[in-house]
Structure 1
Amino acid sequence: MADQTQTFNPPGIASLQPGEATTDRIAWVKVSLTFLPLAAPISDAKVLTGRQKPLTEIAFIFAEIESEQGHRGIGFGYSKRAGGQGMFAHAKELAPALLGEDPNDIGKIFNKLLWAGASMGRSGLTTQAIAPFDIALWDLKAKRAGLPLAKLLGAHRDSVQCYNTSGGYLSMSLDTVLENVDRSRGSGIGGIKIKVGQPDTREDFRRVKAVRDLLGPDFPLMVDANQQWDRLKAQRACRKFEELDLTWIEEPLDAYDFEGHAALAASLDTAVATGEMLTSFGEHAQLIETRGADYVQPDAPRVGGITPFLQIMHLASLRGLKLAPHFAMEIHLHLAAAYPEEPWLEHFEWLEPLFNERLELRGGRMHVPSRPGLGFSLSEQAIAWTAAGEEYGKRR
């Protein structure tokens, strides 16, 4: 890894006098770009329509932060297929701005970083590049308190019902999907989601019905069309799927078609889920206020971190909506545990090689670990997969 240590002294920092409430300062920040290879190329409906290429690797941006008092936190963001290098470049622009700040002032720091890149907008890549820092600061805060992040936030439960997605991609044969479903259920998973959105919806229905027949009538089953239907096709497909008693139908329409999702949700008995592609609190507020989803699916690394995620949680709870965060279960387990209504957590084993620790899946639920903070640390494999990194400030 090509680390470059840089000492950065923001103008005026040396002369700043801490106030009575200022208890610590950020002294060191490290940003790393890591590529996680997948065992086999993965395809969903976006690939079948020619809009994206198969997924072969995931880019991760890790942020490590240390304060003058020696408290440390780690966070990450990610990008699939494209954008990882751009996120890393912007994260490096932002990192020096954290030096000298009190790590307790997470909301203030989030706004500072957001405005630093505001000329490019306040969503998309700019917010996603902030996420590793924001998440690391929440991890640091919970570790300093000696609490799992869920407990720092105020948990409503110590475990969250958990469903698997990674075994149901369209690039897999139906036989493989059924084998994966059986294996997941045997491992203690609480629900199954498979991908749909093929050109022939009859083939989608055949695959989903085969999974339903395997699972039986009562086991939670979800489908995900990955935004590949128009309004008419979505209406017809969703009505057909209603006979299979699904827990939800995910992303039947373009992620930004809030009105279309709202009309569909109002017309169906089956719940509609969406939100994973939105990249700010403001975009989620539009979705929530138009009643575009029964299950809101924010992604903390995509919306800018835990700070905006908590705003989304509050608004969704206020409007009586359900929560099912997208991906990154290592982060979202803690956030889902703090949601008032019973949520769902998405299970992906893909990220396990990056971390030394494992989450416990038992009885259909993922259990909040007792480890302080988010409860994970980077593995030797993650370090070996790191392509670039830079450090700012000085470690203790």
Structure 2
Amino acid sequence: MNHPTDPSILIAAVHARAVNVPLEYPVRTSVGVIATAPLVLIDLHASDGSIGRAYLFTYTPLALEATRQMVTALGEVLKGQPLAPFDLDRLLAQRLRLLGRTGLAGMACAGLDMAAWDALAVARGLPLVELLGGRRRPIAAYDSHSLDGVELGVQRAERAVAQGFGAIKTKVGYATLAEDLRVVRALRQAIGDDTQLLVDYNQGLAGPEAVRRIHALEGEGIGWVEEPTLQEDYAGHARIRAQVRLPIQMGENWCGPDEMAKALEAGACDLVMPDAMKIGGVTGWLRAAALAQARGLPMSSHIFHEVSVHLLAVTPTCHLLERMDLAGPVLTEPLAFENGSAIAPPQPGTGIAWNEEAVRRFEVRAC
């Protein structure tokens, strides 16, 4: 085998498959319900035999085939290129200059970036975190829940506390403020005072209503309020932030570090939580982490916990890892959590490997 840094290690092929995976609990939000996890599974083959794997989450099955095709098409652009992720990122940026790297194109680029980094780490025989210059260490996580109401919400919260999680997140934005408070207070009673309680409005409120509801939550021991209004309204978030005492969290919908920079310049948030897919994969995450470090902002993750556990370990302002298992049913070894934390697995790469029997069961083939 060639030395991993040898430029003769090239990208030989990229394969993409679509699956629609069941969720233990549907993801209920104030703006809609995600009943299943539609995923595009990526296998990037290098000329030395290394394989890099990653997945994309398309939110709706309607986007599965289009995303799979975009990954396949951009994979053809990368064939024959050296396995050098920063160079690949520049190449894709150049090829998509006129179209832009947002939407499905941006997601596809991020998936290829994550797969390329995974392949490079496999080629070097290192876990991704070590390839990036960090070390495997426990990363504190929060258990991420939905708009569950009181009965299911309390049941899930008690289970999370029993599993050792020091923080849970619930989605709010019920029809009335009274219902928000009823759920939040029931969860607080269930988890006690030592467990952090985080809330997420999923962009569901207009500015004045967001201020009203957040003021009402200020005596409930809330750790952060996530996306109270439209995520692209950075000025609106800044106005809300100026009028409330609770920390404002956002970032899962930033499409690349440039959008993150605009939000930070507007003073839109106290905390940041990029999404590994939307921020631009490993390469985009590293750039985002530098922006957070420059402003001293705690940085958490949004879904994709298999890769995020590696990335947070090299993030200077590392805060919390989101535990939300989207891909577990199609993985041979889902990421393990112990006492409310996760550690990047010791095998080379990210540790993502497909359970092929499950992939066949949940695969969605183009008509």
TM-score normalized by the length of structure 2? 0.93
Partner AA of 2:211 in structure 1:
Q
CA distance in 1, matches of 2:82, 2:98: 25
Please list, as runs of the form range in 1=range in 2, the aligned pairs for 1:2-151 lying within 5 A after superposition: 22-39=7-24, 41-47=26-32, 54-81=33-60, 82-103=62-83, 105-151=84-130
**Are 2:205 and 1:229 equivalent residues in the alignment?**
yes
Partner AA of 1:30 in structure 2:
H
The runs of 5 or more residues in structure 2 that have no matched partner are none
Q: Please list the CA deviations of residues 289-310 of structure 1 after superposition, one character each: whole Å capped at 9, or x if unmatched.
A: 2221222111111233111111
Q: Please list the CA deviations of residues 153-209 of structure 1 after superposition, one character each: whole Å capped at 9, or x if unmatched.
A: 13366011111113xx22x33111101111111112221111101221110111001
**Are 2:243 and 1:258 equivalent residues in the alignment?**
no
Q: SS in structure 2 opposite 1:126?
A: helix
CA distance in 1, matches of 2:195, 2:25: 28
Please list, as runs of the form range in 1=range in 2, the aligned pairs for 1:1-396 lying within 5 A after superposition: 22-39=7-24, 41-47=26-32, 54-81=33-60, 82-103=62-83, 105-155=84-134, 158-166=137-145, 169-170=146-147, 172-379=148-355, 380-388=357-365
* Residue in structure 2 matched with residue 11 of structure 1 by the alignment: none
Larger radius of gyration: 1
Deviation at 1:21, TM superposition (A): 6.1
Partner AA of 2:133 in structure 1:
G
Q: SS in structure 2 opposite 1:59?
A: strand
The runs of 5 or more residues in structure 1 that have no matched partner are 1-19, 48-53, 390-396
Q: Please list the CA deviations of residues 218-274 of structure 1 after superposition, one character each: whole Å capped at 9, or x if unmatched.
A: 211100000011110111111111111211000101101112212323433321111
Which structure is higher in RCO with an 8 Å CA cutoff and minimum separation 6?
A: 1
CA distance in 2, matches of 1:126, 1:116: 11
8 Å CA contact 2:136–2:343 kept in 1: the answer is no
CA distance in 2, matches of 1:173, 1:358: 28
CA distance in 2, matches of 1:220, 1:277: 23
8 Å CA contact 2:125–2:348 kept in 1: the answer is yes
Partner AA of 2:69 in structure 1:
A
* Alpha carbons of structure 1 residues 280 and 192: separation in structure 2 relative to 1, 3 Å: same
Partner AA of 2:207 in structure 1:
R
Divergent runs of 4+, >6 A: none
Partner AA of 2:105 in structure 1:
T
* Alpha carbons of structure 1 residues 93 and 28: separation in structure 2 relative to 1, 3 Å: closer
Partner AA of 2:358 in structure 1:
Q
What is the percentage of aligned positions where both structures have the same residue? 28
8 Å CA contact 1:32–1:62 kept in 2: the answer is yes
8 Å CA contact 2:37–2:327 kept in 1: the answer is no
8 Å CA contact 1:127–1:302 kept in 2: the answer is yes
CA distance in 1, matches of 2:144, 2:234: 24
Partner AA of 2:141 in structure 1:
C
Partner AA of 1:341 in structure 2:
T
